Structure 1
Amino acid sequence: MSSGTTELAWFKSSYSGTQGDSCVEVAITEQAIHVRDSKDVARPAFAVGREGWGQFVRYASER
């Protein structure tokens, strides 16, 4: 993961609670979807290719 993730436009899902629950934030670029822990943004983020992210979303929506 590049150290440039701080310049990304991060956002949380509208399903995320306001009590500081376990949430993730995502940032979308042309190359990948970046994911990080919203409670600890200093921890390293990870990136998933757009195709892999699409597969994950399809799988999760079927559950």
Structure 2
Amino acid sequence: MTVQRSGPSVPESAWFKSSYSGGDGGECVEVAVAFGAVHIRDTKGVDGPLLTTTPEAWSRLLALATSS
């Protein structure tokens, strides 16, 4: 997993927000899936740092977050 200050060249059209995100903003993240990488950014700070991880690590994180 890496944090990048200047993000990779990811087209704006590749970013999406979770369907669980509310319309009022605040605590949302956006995700862009690219070949061999998943990029994550803060919806409020799209020019800020990115978190980049592997698709496998992202899947494990989602599995942990949804198991209760």
The TM-score normalised by the length of structure 2 is 0.79
Q: Which residue of 1 aligns with 2:20?
A: 15
1:38 to 7, 21, 43: 43
Let me know the Cα RMSD of the aligned residues. 1.5
TM-score (structure 1 length as normaliser): 0.84
Number of equivalences: 62
Per-residue CA deviation, residues 27-55 of structure 1 (Å, 9 max, x unaligned), is 01121110000011110111110111111
Structure 1: 4+ residue segments shifted above 6 A: none
Which amino acid is the alignment partner of residue 65 of structure 2?
A
Any stretches of 5+ residues in structure 2 without a counterpart?
A: none
Give the percent of matched residue pairs that are identical in Structure 1 and Structure 2.
40
The amino acid that maps onto 2:23 is T
Partner AA of 1:16 in structure 2: S
| Structure 1: gaps (5+ residues) | none
